[in-house]
């Protein structure tokens, strides 16, 4: 049963405690990465046999396989994928940054170019659940950014096939290549390249502990989006909220995995009791009831605050991945939300809308990192290059200032490079 706390009556350490699982996979992942670096495709085939029980003839998913998968998916689901893709595209198009140039001083031009990375690699889980939504959320911003080649790595089943809904989503999103490889070995292949898989510049996407550890270890060789922790939802709800809705939304994250965190913060002790009771009604009816049960019992909590404003401050301290504002006038409180990955406004906006359809990205900071990081966006797939141009006359006006500054740092060669051109004229 979910735990109920009254804020101010228990220690803050207990209120804000977070499960932070530390899987001891570092050495295993290091060995896998080194094997892929040394042996390339050969290592990938061996790992597919070992971990996926698949005897692959090729790592690349062929066009025929994609066409077959798309044909096997229900037309209704294809239409839903296209609708979701349209919403995601509309939102992320607004994130595009423009290069700029400043030319408002005589003889001085400065500016910044916004340039997409050449290649991006998307990790898409394919184990106990397939996530076509992840394909859309990761591939569409990359395409909008102008990435030349967007590739997916995802584990095959024992027959050597990729889940058709993943391939269908990849087709809708315009992914360039798809490879049948998962786990830490897939991250290694993207980071270092093999005979079949070209090295990428950016790796994004969620995965298990092995994938997360691999992303940590290859960071610096390539860029990564984030190290994703367990799924989280925090709901701020007032006493007028429907306990069935609140319980259902809590369980939408609790069913992800046993380490997921579902938290309700409310100013109503009566609502807290009703939601606790409703959870016990709904959990046994879920297909993933064992997972949800463990999540709610081990990591779930209800925090009773003195007011909604106090509830929002508690939410800011937790800095959740998903935050629902279940109140009548949510925009009155939005400015008070400083730390959250994505905010869902009002009584009719379940977090699942964001997972699949609304348009904002669902790849979000977890484990409190919303205090300093952001959702996946077009920005993740671009970099900036600055440039500076000075005419001779413009340099002459500032060369002595640069020389003076450089000498304050003890860098006389810097100083000399600033004035050598004007000294020649003298």
Instruction: List, by residue number, the catalytic residues.
Output: 321-322
Among candidates 363, 426, 324, which has minimal Cα distance to 123?
363
Q: Which residues contact 391 (CB under 8 A, 6 or more apart)?
A: 107, 108
Classify the phi-psi angles of 107: left when phi > 0, otherwise alpha if psi is within -120 to 50, otherwise beta.
Answer: left
Distance CA 48, CA 159 (A): 11
Q: Which residues contact 72 (CB under 8 A, 6 or more apart)?
A: 164
Structure token pair of residue 251: 């369980």
Q: Around Cβ 73, how many Cβ atoms within 10 Å?
A: 17
CA atoms lying within 13 Å on the CB side of residue 229: 20
Torsion sign over Cα 114, 115, 116, 117 = negative
Structure token pair of residue 34: 């080194």
């Amino acid at each position: 049963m979910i735990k109920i706390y009254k804020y101010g009556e228990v220690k803050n350490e207990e209120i804000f405690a977070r499960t932070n699982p530390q899987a001891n996979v570092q050495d295993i992942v290091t060995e896998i990465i080194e094997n892929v670096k040394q042996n390339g495709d050969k290592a990938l085939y061996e790992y597919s046999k070992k971990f996926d029980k698949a005897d692959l003839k090729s790592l690349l998913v062929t066009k025929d396989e994609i066409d077959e998968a798309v044909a096997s998916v229900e037309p209704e689901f294809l239409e839903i994928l296209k609708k979701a893709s349209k919403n995601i595209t509309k939102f992320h198009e607004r994130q595009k940054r423009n290069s700029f140039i400043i030319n408002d001083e005589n003889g001085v031009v400065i500016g910044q170019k916004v340039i997409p990375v050449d290649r991006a690699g998307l990790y898409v889980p394919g184990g106990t659940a397939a996530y076509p939504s992840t394909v859309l959320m990761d591939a569409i911003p990359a395409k909008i950014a102008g990435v030349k080649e967007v590739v997916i790595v995802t584990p095959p089943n024992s027959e050597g096939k990729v889940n058709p809904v993943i391939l269908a989503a990849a087709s809708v999103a315009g992914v360039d290549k798809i490879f049948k490889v998962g786990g830490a070995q897939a991250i290694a292949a993207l980071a270092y390249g093999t005979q079949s898989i070209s090295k990428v510049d950016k790796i994004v996407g969620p995965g298990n502990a092995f994938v997360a550890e691999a992303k940590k270890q290859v960071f610096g060789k390539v860029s990564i989006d984030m190290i994703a922790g367990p799924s989280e939802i925090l709901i701020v709800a007032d006493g007028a909220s429907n306990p069935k809705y609140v319980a259902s939304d809590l369980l939408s994250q609790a069913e992800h995995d046993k380490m997921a965190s579902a938290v309700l913060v409310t100013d109503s002790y009566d609502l807290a009791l009703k939601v606790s009771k409703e959870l016990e009604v709904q959990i046994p009816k879920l297909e993933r009831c064992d997972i949800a049960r463990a999540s709610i019992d081990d990591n779930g909590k209800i925090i009773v605050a003195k007011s909604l404003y106090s509830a929002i401050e508690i939410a800011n301290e937790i800095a959740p991945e998903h935050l629902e504002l279940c109140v009548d006038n949510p925009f009155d409180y939005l400015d008070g939300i400083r730390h959250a990955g994505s905010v869902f406004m009002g009584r009719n906006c379940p977090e699942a809308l964001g997972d699949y359809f609304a348009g904002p990205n669902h790849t979000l900071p977890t484990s409190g990192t919303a205090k300093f990081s952001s959702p996946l966006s077009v920005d993740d797939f671009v970099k900036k290059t600055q440039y500076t141009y000075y005419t001779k006359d413009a340099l002459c006006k500032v060369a002595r200032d640069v020389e003076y500054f450089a000498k304050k740092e003890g860098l006389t060669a810097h100083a000399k490079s600033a004035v050598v051109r004007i000294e020649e004229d003298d």
